[in-house]
Structure 1
Amino acid sequence: MQERAMPHNTSAGQRGSHVVVIGAGWAGWGAAKGLCEAGVRVTLVDGMADPTGSQPVTTKSGKPFEAGTRGFWKDYPNINALTEELDVGSIYTGFTTSAFWSPDGLEATAPVFGESPQWPSPLGQVLATVTNFKRLPVRDRLSIAGLLYAILDLNRSDRVFQHYDDLNAQALFVRLGISDRMIDDFLRPTLLVGLFKPPEELSAAVAMELLYYYALAHQDSFDVRWIKSKSIAEHLFQPLSRRLVARHDLRVLGGTLARRLHVSAATHVVRSVELQDVRTGDITVLEDVDAVVLAVGAKGLKALMSESPECSKAAPELVAAASLGSIDVVSSRLWLDRYVPIAYPANVFSRFSALQGAGGTFFMLDQLQRDSEQALWGDEPPQGSVVASDFYNAAGIAAMPDQEIMDCLMHQLLPFTHPEFRNAKVVDAEVRRYPGSVSHFSPGSFRKRPPLETSIPSIVCAGDWVRMGDREHGAKGLCQERAYVCGLEAANSLIRRNLVKGSDPSKTLQHPVIPIRADEPQVVLGRALNKLVMGPIEGFGLKLPWFG
C-alpha cells in the first residue's frame, strides 16, 4: 500500500493550530464546532463515506435508512440551541407517548409528563403514571421505593459512587427488595433499550443515572420527541458541516480510518496521524498536527491503540478504556402493504423469548413522519406503514439471516401489539448489523472509561462514555446531548490549557455550554440530609446493607 505525507494546505502561522478530530458522531461534530469557531484548523476523519449528511443513506431500492431511531429529550439545551442557531426550522415532532409490550399485550405507557399538572418530583411522576401500568399490581410498583433512596445516595462521594459502580444493577434491585415483576416488566426492558444490556450485566451506578431522569428529575425531564422527516444527519449535521466548511475551512475526510497516532516517546507530543482509505486501502499521513480529539467508542479506540505503541505507553488509560466491551446492534426497516393503526408511534418490546436476550424497539415512521410520508417510500407511491425496529445486545439476532429477522418481527413480535400486523405483508425491507457499535457499561467499568483529558496533554477524548470530571453534564449514560457537550468540552479543554490557538489568539474563545436544569429543592435537600446522616453512621464502621 502506498504511503504519502499530507500536510494541511494552510500554514500554522496563517490559520493557527491544527487539530485532528477522529469520529464524526455528536461528539466529533461538537469538538469540530468548538474548535473551528475559535479559529483553529480542523480535519474531521470518519469511516463513513459521507459523515456530513449531504448524501443520505439509502437502501438498495432507494428508500431512506437510518441506523437507530434516537429520541430528543426535554433536557437537551445545547442541541436545542444548535437547532435554533442553524435555523433549520421545525424538525421535531411533538413530545410523544411511548408504550411497553409483552406477550400478554400492553404492559405500560410512558406519558407526556409535561401535559399533566406539574407537581414536585417524584410525586409528579407517580401521579402522572397511576393509570399507565396496565397489569403491574400496586404493591409491585411501590417496591421501587428503595431505589429512589439509592439514586439520592449515588453521588454522596466518589467512594460511594464506586461502590455502586462495582455492583451489577440486578443485584442492587434484589437487595433493595424490588419485586421480580417490577424488574422484569419495567426495569429490564427500560435498561435494555436505554443502556443496551440487561441489569445483571450493567453497572448499578450507570443504571441509576439513567433511571434518575425517570424518577427524580423534573416531572417532564423524560418527555421525548423525534425527528419528523429525513434523518438526524440530514437535518443537523449537514447544515452544521456546510457552515463550518464555508466559514472556517473545516476539512472533512469521509471513508477514512485513523490507523495510528505518532507520538514522540521523548516529549509525549502528537506528531502526525496515519490514515487509511476504506475503499482503496491506501495509507496517508497527516503531518503538522498539534492535537487530537478521540471521538470514538471502545471498538475504534482498541483498533487505534493496537497500532499506536508510543501512545499506548504514554497514556495507559486509553489502553484500559479500549479493553472495555461493546455491544452489537441490529437495525431494520419494514415497508408494509397496509397501514397498521397502532396507538403509539414509539414502542418497546418486553419479555419476548424471540428477542434472545436482546432489547427491542419499534417506531411507526408513517406516524412520526406523516407530513413527509412520500420521502419514506423513495420514488414509490406509499402503500402502508413503515416500521423501524432496533435490537440492542443483539448478538443472537445478528446471527440470524435477514429473512428470519423479518419473520421474527412480523410473526413473533409485532402481532402482539396489534392484530392487523398478522394480515400485513412486507413489500420491502432492509436489515443492517453494527457489531460492537455502542459501549458496554459493565460493573466496575467507570474507572476504566476514558477521561476527558489524558496523560498526553494534546490528546483529549469526547463521547457519551467519557469521564468529564468537573465538566460533567447531564446523564452519564448514553445520550446525544452528553456526547455533543463532551465534544464541546474537549475543544474547550485544548483552548483553556493554551494547547491550541486560533489565527487570532485574542478571539480564541471557549464555546459556551448551557447547563441542564438544576435539581428541584426537595431533591437537593434529600441529598444533603442523606449525606449529613450517613457520614457519622459510616464513621462507626456501618454501611448500607446492599453493599454486602
Structure 2
Amino acid sequence: MLACSWSVTSLAPYLSNKRYGTGFSCKAIDLQSHANGDQDNQIKKKKKKKKKVVIVGSGWAGLGAAHHLCNQGFDVTVLEGSPEDVGIRGYWYPHRNIFNLVDELGIKPFTNWIKSAQYSGEGLEVEFPIFQDLPQLPTPLGTLYYSQFARLPLFDRLTSLPLLAAVVDFDNTDTAWRKYDSITARELFKQFGFSERLYRDVFGPLLQVGLFAPAEQCSAAATLGVLVYVLSHQV
C-alpha cells in the first residue's frame, strides 16, 4: 500500500516521510507486515530482495503505479513537488477502478460531492449538478433540469435543444466518427442553431476545459463523444 496517498495524520505510524524544502516524498510499505508485528525486521529483509523504483508525481497515475508496483514486490518511493498536491481533487464518478481501489485498501478519503461552477469575466455563469446527490431523471432531463444558469436567458438555453438530435445520432461507431469528424465543434454548433451567447459563455469554455482546445480546433465527433458520455452517465 502507498501509505502517504491520503491522510498523513491517520496513517502516520505507517509512513516513512521526508521533506526537502517544499517537496514531499514517501515510502510505500506493506501494512500487513505492520499488523503482524516484527515490521522492522520484515521490512529490512524485504529491502534486501526488492528492486527500488522512484515515481515522480502523486496524481492518480503516480499513486496507481506505486500501488501496482508494491503489489509486484517492488520497493517504491513517490516524490511530489508540493505537499499540498498529494492525490487528486476530482474525478469522474463512473471511474469504478478508483472505487475498487479504495474498497481494496479499506479507506474513506473522499469528501461529499460538490457542484461544478463556471465563471466568465462577468461572474458566475452556471452551476452543474453532481447527480449522485439528486434523484436521477431520464437522460438528458436531469442535465436540463438541474443545471442552474445565473445570467443566460432562457431563449439562449433553448437553442441547445436541437443539438440533442446529433447526440442521439452519434452512437460512437466508426461510421459516426467518420460522419462528424470532418467538421469542427464550432461548425456543429452553428449547424444546429446555437446562440452566440450560449457558445461564448458556456460551451466554448467547456470545450477548453474538457478537450483542451477551442471549438474551432476540436472535432465535432470528439465533442459529441464527450457529451454522450456525460449525458449517459449523468455525471
TM-score between both structures, scaled by the size of structure 1: 0.29
Report the alpha carbon displacement of residue 160 of structure 1 after superposing the two structures with TM. 2.5
- Matched residue pairs, number? 179
Q: Give the whole-Å Cα distance in 1 for the aligned partners of 2:129 and 2:93.
A: 13
Report the alpha carbon displacement of residue 173 of structure 1 after superposing the two structures with TM. 0.9
Q: Give the whole-Å Cα distance in 2 for the aligned partners of 1:162 and 1:31.
A: 39
In the alignment, which of 197, 202, 218 is matched to residue 186 of structure 1?
A: 202
Q: Give the whole-Å Cα distance in 2 for the aligned partners of 1:53 and 1:141.
A: 50
Q: Give the whole-Å Cα distance in 2 for the aligned partners of 1:30 and 1:217.
A: 29
Instruction: Give the match's secondary structure for 1:108.
Output: strand
CA 56–30 in structure 1, closer or farther in 2 if over 3 Å, else same: closer
Given that 2:188 and 2:220 are in contact with CA atoms closer than 8 Å, whether structure 1 keeps it comes out as yes
Instruction: Give the match's secondary structure for 1:201.
Output: coil
Report the alpha carbon displacement of residue 57 of structure 1 after superposing the two structures with TM. 2.2
Report the alpha carbon displacement of residue 122 of structure 1 after superposing the two structures with TM. 1.0
Does residue 72 (structure 1) correspond to residue 119 (structure 2)? The answer is: no
CA 36–99 in structure 1, closer or farther in 2 if over 3 Å, else same: closer
Does residue 212 (structure 1) correspond to residue 212 (structure 2)? The answer is: no
Q: Deviations over 1:425-476 (max 9, x none)?
A: xxxxxxxxxxxxxxxxxxxxxxxxxxxxxxxxxxxxxxxxxxxxxxxxxxxx
Does residue 105 (structure 1) correspond to residue 123 (structure 2)? The answer is: yes
TM-score between both structures, scaled by the size of structure 2: 0.64
Instruction: Give the match's secondary structure for 2:139.
Output: coil
Report the alpha carbon displacement of residue 123 of structure 1 after superposing the two structures with TM. 1.4
Given that 1:170 and 1:200 are in contact with CA atoms closer than 8 Å, whether structure 2 keeps it comes out as yes
Q: Deviations over 1:327-367 (max 9, x none)?
A: xxxxxxxxxxxxxxxxxxxxxxxxxxxxxxxxxxxxxxxxx
Aligned identity (percent) is 35
Q: List runs of 5+ in structure 1 lacking aligned partners.
A: 1-22, 44-51, 223-548
Given that 1:188 and 1:198 are in contact with CA atoms closer than 8 Å, whether structure 2 keeps it comes out as yes
Report the alpha carbon displacement of residue 64 of structure 1 after superposing the two structures with TM. 3.1
Q: Give the whole-Å Cα distance in 2 for the aligned partners of 1:205 and 1:166.
A: 8
Report the alpha carbon displacement of residue 84 of structure 1 after superposing the two structures with TM. 1.2
Q: Give the whole-Å Cα distance in 1 for the aligned partners of 2:120 and 2:172.
A: 37
Q: In the alignment, what sits opposite 1:85?
A: 104
Instruction: Give the match's secondary structure for 2:135.
Output: coil
Letter of the structure 1 residue corresponding to residue 232 of structure 2: A
Letter of the structure 1 residue corresponding to residue 123 of structure 2: G
Q: Give the whole-Å Cα distance in 2 for the aligned partners of 1:65 and 1:77.
A: 23
Looking at secondary structure, tell me which structure has more helix per residue. Answer: 2
Q: Give the whole-Å Cα distance in 1 for the aligned partners of 2:224 and 2:65.
A: 26
Given that 1:143 and 1:179 are in contact with CA atoms closer than 8 Å, whether structure 2 keeps it comes out as yes
Q: In the alignment, what sits opposite 1:153?
A: 169
Mapping for residues 239-318 of structure 1, pairs under 5 Å: none
Instruction: Give the match's secondary structure for 2:143.
Output: helix
Does residue 137 (structure 1) correspond to residue 153 (structure 2)? The answer is: yes
Instruction: Give the match's secondary structure for 1:84.
Output: helix
CA 28–65 in structure 1, closer or farther in 2 if over 3 Å, else same: closer
Q: Give the whole-Å Cα distance in 2 for the aligned partners of 1:119 and 1:143.
A: 21
Q: Give the whole-Å Cα distance in 2 for the aligned partners of 1:103 and 1:192.
A: 15
In the alignment, which of 80, 83, 93 is matched to residue 56 of structure 1?
A: 80
CA 70–64 in structure 1, closer or farther in 2 if over 3 Å, else same: closer
Report the alpha carbon displacement of residue 155 of structure 1 after superposing the two structures with TM. 2.3
Report the alpha carbon displacement of residue 177 of structure 1 after superposing the two structures with TM. 0.9
Q: Give the whole-Å Cα distance in 1 for the aligned partners of 2:180 and 2:86.
A: 35
Q: Deviations over 1:371-415 (max 9, x none)?
A: xxxxxxxxxxxxxxxxxxxxxxxxxxxxxxxxxxxxxxxxxxxxx
Given that 2:176 and 2:221 are in contact with CA atoms closer than 8 Å, whether structure 1 keeps it comes out as no
Given that 1:146 and 1:177 are in contact with CA atoms closer than 8 Å, whether structure 2 keeps it comes out as yes
Given that 2:66 and 2:78 are in contact with CA atoms closer than 8 Å, whether structure 1 keeps it comes out as no
Deviating above 4 A after TM superposition, structure 1's stretches of 4 or more consecutive aligned residues are: 27-32
Report the alpha carbon displacement of residue 198 of structure 1 after superposing the two structures with TM. 1.1
Q: Give the whole-Å Cα distance in 2 for the aligned partners of 1:155 and 1:212.
A: 8
More relative contact order in 1 or in 2 (CA 8 Å, sep 6+)?
1
Given that 2:152 and 2:198 are in contact with CA atoms closer than 8 Å, whether structure 1 keeps it comes out as yes
CA 66–178 in structure 1, closer or farther in 2 if over 3 Å, else same: farther
Q: In the alignment, what sits opposite 2:136?
A: 118
CA 56–31 in structure 1, closer or farther in 2 if over 3 Å, else same: closer
Q: Give the whole-Å Cα distance in 1 for the aligned partners of 2:130 and 2:79.
A: 34
Q: Give the whole-Å Cα distance in 2 for the aligned partners of 1:134 and 1:183.
A: 15
CA 180–80 in structure 1, closer or farther in 2 if over 3 Å, else same: same
CA 66–158 in structure 1, closer or farther in 2 if over 3 Å, else same: same
Instruction: Give the match's secondary structure for 1:149.
Output: helix
Report the alpha carbon displacement of residue 31 of structure 1 after superposing the two structures with TM. 11
Instruction: Give the match's secondary structure for 2:99.
Output: helix
Given that 1:32 and 1:42 are in contact with CA atoms closer than 8 Å, whether structure 2 keeps it comes out as no
Q: In the alignment, what sits opposite 2:61?
A: 26
